[in-house]
Amino acid sequence: MEFKLIWFDSFGAKSSCTLVKTKDVKILIDPGIAIMHSSFPASFAKKVYWTERGRREILKAAKEAGIITISHYHWDHFLNKMKIYENKILFVKNPNEYINDSQRKRALEFFQNIWKEFGKREIKFEKQRKKKFEDCVRGLKSLKKDFGDYQKRREELFKKGRKWFEVRMKRWKNFKIIPEAHFENLKIFYPEGKRFKFGKTTIKFTKPFFHGIEYSRVGWVFSTVIVEGKKAYPFK
């Protein structure tokens, strides 16, 4: 298995794009990039230069890959440029659940563009299905840990977090469902908690987990685990 870091924060623009090659497939993970925050110690001109340079590198890497994964809908993890997804298998974060409002908005725009580009039509929404959503915090081993003086505050935050999560679940139940789609030159899967096999390469995806601490308002992501033979490599 080969790894190539296409662009990362240390290169001067926000990204964590990685190209992974096995004997069976080439996988591009999180092909996105965003300009560095204002406190980053560089001129605005340099930040723009690094961002554009990184974007070119990502577009070039996308031409090599047959599979693209998008772990969540922050701009430094996906590009809203449709051409890079042509003739690909796209494993992308489910936009219908375990998602906050800002990422849902970006996801909706992204899929509208996908459907127009590859389906030549508007999104064909599906009806909402009854589903019970699992609280990602329940079952964590850290719940049994005593954090000393911080424990009381932690319990207060958990209580607020659970109320916030209940509100999120109600919102998800009212979403119009954006379905997985198989177009002539693009196949889209929501892979959380599933695995896919390509020859001797297995790509496994975790269930969604918080983008940060428990009940982080930033949202949810998934990790990608690539197994070639008996060797496993996780990517977050």
pLDDT of residue 236: 58
User: Degrees (nearest 5) of the Cα angle 208, 212, 215?
Assistant: 75
pLDDT of residue 140: 84
Encode pLDDT of 66-121 as tens digits.
Answer: 999 999 999 999 999 999 999 999 999 999 999 999 999 999 999 999 999 999 99
The 3-class secondary structure across 16-75, one letter per residue, is EEEEEECCCCEEEECCCCECCCCCCCCCHHHHHHHHHHHHHHHHHHHHHCCEEEECCCCC
How far is the CA of 146 from the CAs of 155, 159, 160, 164, 222, in angstroms? 11, 16, 19, 23, 27
CA distance 177 to 196: 23
Residue 144, pLDDT > 70, answer yes
pLDDT of residue 143: 85
**What type of residue sits at position 61?**
A
As a whole number, mean pLDDT of residues 207-224 equals 94
Encode pLDDT of 5-40 as tens digits.
Answer: 999 998 899 999 999 999 999 999 999 999 998 889
| Element of type H or E holding 198 | strand 195-198
**What type of residue sits at position 24?**
D
CA distance 66 to 78: 16
Provide the pairing of β-strand 201-205 with 195-198. Answer: antiparallel
Give me the phi and psi of 92, to 5 degrees please: -130, 145
pLDDT of residue 83: 95
- Please report, for the chain, the start and end positions of each structural domain, with discontinuous segments joined by +: 2-235
What CATH number belongs to 2-235?
3.60.15
